[in-house]
Amino acid sequence: MTALNAIRKPVGKIHLYTAYFLMFLIIVHIAAVVRAEVKDDERLVSSMISGKKIMSEKPQDE
């Protein structure tokens, strides 16, 4: 049991910092999605959610 206690702190710190890093990546991802939706003209995120995309021109494959 003492061998397990010896690695508990380092593993706990790794687990904690990994969780913080994952939360940071999620926040950055959400911010990038919002930025892309607001700044870009394609409205890619809205198209992925609704399944409908408003085209400025007639599609070439029609």
Q: How far apart are CA 24 and CA 42, in angstroms?
A: 27
Q: Work out the pLDDT band at 59, boundaries 50, 70, 90.
A: confident
pLDDT tens for each residue of 1-51: 677 888 999 999 999 999 999 999 999 999 999 998 888 777 788 888 888
pTM for this model (two decimals): 0.67
pLDDT of amino acid 24: 99
pLDDT of amino acid 42: 74
